[in-house]
Amino acid sequence: MSVIVSVQNVRKTYDGGFEALKGASLDIQEGEIIALLGPNGAGKTTLISTICGISSPTSGAITVAGMDIARDYRRVRAMIGLVPQEIALEPFETVINSVRFSRGLFGKAKNEAYLDEILKTLSLFDKKESKVMALSGGMKRRVLIAKALAHEPKVLFLDEPTAGVDVELRKDMWNTVAKLKEQGVTIILTTHYIEEAEAIADRIAVINGGEILLVEDKAALMARMGKKQIRIELLEPVSEIPAKLAPYGLELAPDGAGLTYSYDTNAERTGITGLLNDLQAAGLQMRDVQTQQSSLEDIFVDLLQEDGV
Amino acid sequence: MNFQAIAAIYTFEMARFFRTLKQSFISPVLSTSLYFVVFGTAIGSRMEAVDGVAYGAFIVPGLIMLSVMTQSISNASFGIYFPKFIGTIYELLSAPVNFLEIVIGYVGAAATKSLFIGLVILGTAYLFVDLDIQHPIAMMSFLLLTCLSFSLLGFIIGIWAGNFEQLNLVPMLVVTPLVFLGGSFYSISMLPEFWQTVTLFNPVVYLISGFRWAFFGKADVAIGISLGAIALFTLACMGFIWWIFKTGWRIRS
Between A73, A89, A104, which is nearest B7 by CB? Answer: A104
Closest chain A residue to B88 measured between Cα atoms? A88
pLDDT in tens, A90-145: 999 999 999 999 999 999 999 999 999 999 988 899 999 999 999 988 899 999 99
- Predicted model pTM: 0.84
Q: How far is B104 from chain A (nearest CA, A)?
A: 13
Predicted local confidence at residue A104, as pLDDT: 97
Cβ contacts of B4 on chain A, cutoff 8 Å: 104-109
d(CA B240, CA A265): 60
User: In the CATH hierarchy, which fold is given to the domain comprising A226-307?
Assistant: Alpha-Beta Plaits (3.30.70)
Amino acid at B141: S
Percent of chain A with pLDDT over 90: 51
Under a CB-based contact definition with an 8 Å cutoff, are residues B110 and B154 in contact? yes
Cβ contacts of B83 on chain A, cutoff 8 Å: 90
Under a CB-based contact definition with an 8 Å cutoff, are residues A228 and A292 in contact? yes
Pick from A300-304, B18-22, B210-214 the range whose average pLDDT is largest.
Answer: B210-214
pLDDT in tens, A190-248: 988 887 888 889 999 989 889 998 898 988 877 766 677 888 999 888 888 888 888 88
Instruction: Using alpha carbons, list the distances in angstroms from residue B196 to A289, B89, B188, B193, B201.
Output: 90, 44, 6, 5, 10
For residue A9, pLDDT over 90 is answered with yes
For residue B190, pLDDT over 90 is answered with no
Q: How far is A302 from chain B (nearest CA, A)?
A: 34
Cβ contacts of A131 on chain B, cutoff 8 Å: none
Pick from A267-271, B105-109, B227-231, B243-247 the range whose average pLDDT is largest.
Answer: B105-109
d(CA B251, CA B97): 15
Under a CB-based contact definition with an 8 Å cutoff, are residues B92 and B105 in contact? no
d(CA B72, CA B49): 31
Instruction: Using alpha carbons, list the distances in angstroms from residue B31 to B35, B73, B95, B247.
Output: 6, 18, 40, 40
Mean pLDDT of B31-49: 83
Closest chain B residue to A73 measured between Cα atoms? B96
Mean pLDDT of B63-73: 91
- What is the value of ipTM here, to two decimals? 0.89
A88 to B8: CB separation less than 8 angstroms, yes or no? no
CB atoms within 10 A of CB B224: 9
Q: How far is B132 from chain A (nearest CA, A)?
A: 42
Predicted local confidence at residue B31, as pLDDT: 86
d(CA A45, CA A158): 10
Predicted local confidence at residue A240, as pLDDT: 86
Predicted local confidence at residue A15, as pLDDT: 84
B87 to A90: CB separation less than 8 angstroms, yes or no? no
Q: How far is A176 from chain B (nearest CA, A)?
A: 21
B247 to chain A, any CB pair closer than 8 A? The answer is no
Predicted local confidence at residue B94, as pLDDT: 95
CB atoms within 10 A of CB A288: 10
Under a CB-based contact definition with an 8 Å cutoff, are residues A25 and A8 in contact? yes
Q: What is the full DSSP assignment across B213-250?
A: HHHHS--SS-HHHHHHHHHHHHHHHHHHHHHHHHHTTT
Q: Give residues with Cβ within 8 angstroms of B132, minimum separation 6.
A: none
Cβ contacts of A89 on chain B, cutoff 8 Å: 86, 88
Cβ–Cβ pairs < 8 A, chains A and B: 85
d(CA B236, CA B14): 26
Predicted local confidence at residue A226, as pLDDT: 65
Under a CB-based contact definition with an 8 Å cutoff, are residues A2 and A30 in contact? yes
Q: What is the full DSSP assignment across A147-175?
A: HHHTT--SEEEEESTTTT--HHHHHHHHH
Of B67, B244, B239, B90, the residue nearest B158 (C-alpha): B244
B252 to chain A, any CB pair closer than 8 A? The answer is yes
Q: Note which residues in 3-32 of chain B have CB less than 8 A from chain A.
A: 4-5, 7-9, 11-12, 15-16, 19
β-pair type (A33-37, A203-208): parallel
Mean pLDDT of B61-78: 91
In three-state form (DSSP H/G/I as H, E/B as E, the rest C), the secondary structure along A257-270 is: CEEEEEEECCCCCC
Q: Give residues with Cβ within 8 angstroms of B26, minimum separation 6.
A: none
Pick the CATH number of A3-223 from 3.90.580.10, 1.20.1560.10, 3.30.300.30, 3.40.50.300: 3.40.50.300
CA-based angle A55:A210:A299, to the nearest 5?
140
pLDDT in tens, B162-189: 899 998 888 788 888 888 888 888 888 8
Under a CB-based contact definition with an 8 Å cutoff, are residues B156 and B81 in contact? no
B8 to A105: CB separation less than 8 angstroms, yes or no? yes
Q: Note which residues in 56-95 of chain A have CB less than 8 A from chain B.
A: 56, 73-78, 80, 82, 84, 86, 88-93
Between A14, A52, A88, which is nearest B88 by CB? Answer: A88
Q: Mean pLDDT score of chain A, rounded to an integer? A: 89
B97 to A105: CB separation less than 8 angstroms, yes or no? yes
Of the residues B84, B90, B250, B252, the best mutation for testing chain A's interface (the one with the most A CB atoms within 10 Å of its CB) is B90
Predicted local confidence at residue A297, as pLDDT: 63
d(CA B45, CA B43): 5
Predicted local confidence at residue A99, as pLDDT: 97
Q: Give residues with Cβ within 8 angstroms of A59, minimum separation 6.
A: A9, A10, A11
pLDDT in tens, B239-248: 999 998 888 7
Closest chain A residue to B96 measured between Cα atoms? A74
Percent of chain A with pLDDT over 70: 94
Mean pLDDT of B67-73: 91
pLDDT in tens, A143-199: 999 999 999 999 999 999 887 777 877 888 888 899 899 999 999 999 888 878 888
For residue A296, pLDDT over 80 is answered with no
Predicted local confidence at residue B170, as pLDDT: 81
d(CA B117, CA B112): 9
Cβ contacts of A49 on chain B, cutoff 8 Å: 253
B97 to chain A, any CB pair closer than 8 A? The answer is yes
Predicted local confidence at residue A1, as pLDDT: 67
Q: How many CA atoms lie within 13 A of A130 on its CB side?
A: 13
C-alpha A152: how far from chain center: 23
Amino acid at A288: D
Percent of chain B with pLDDT over 90: 47
User: Higher model confidence: residue A277 or residue B253?
Assistant: A277
**DSSP-assigned beta bridge partners for residue A189:** A35, A158
For residue B73, pLDDT over 70 is answered with yes
Q: Which run of H or of E encompasses A232? A: strand A227-234
Q: Note which residues in 170-189 of chain A have CB less than 8 A from chain B.
A: none
Predicted local confidence at residue A155, as pLDDT: 97
A100 to B8: CB separation less than 8 angstroms, yes or no? yes
In chain B, the N- to C-terminal Cα span, in Å, equals: 26
Cβ contacts of B248 on chain A, cutoff 8 Å: 56
From A205-209, A258-262, A295-299, the region with the lowest mean pLDDT: A295-299
For residue A34, pLDDT over 90 is answered with yes
Predicted local confidence at residue A145, as pLDDT: 93
Of the residues A105, A152, A160, the best mutation for testing chain B's interface (the one with the most B CB atoms within 10 Å of its CB) is A105
C-alpha A155: how far from chain center: 16
Predicted local confidence at residue A81, as pLDDT: 97
Q: Note which residues in 136-155 of chain A have CB less than 8 A from chain B.
A: 147
Q: Where are the domains of chain A?
A: 3-223, 226-307
A107 to B94: CB separation less than 8 angstroms, yes or no? no
Instruction: Using alpha carbons, list the distances in angstroms from residue B127 to B31, B58, B119.
Output: 14, 15, 13
pLDDT in tens, B107-120: 999 999 999 999 99
From A49-63, B3-17, B195-209, the region with the lowest mean pLDDT: B195-209
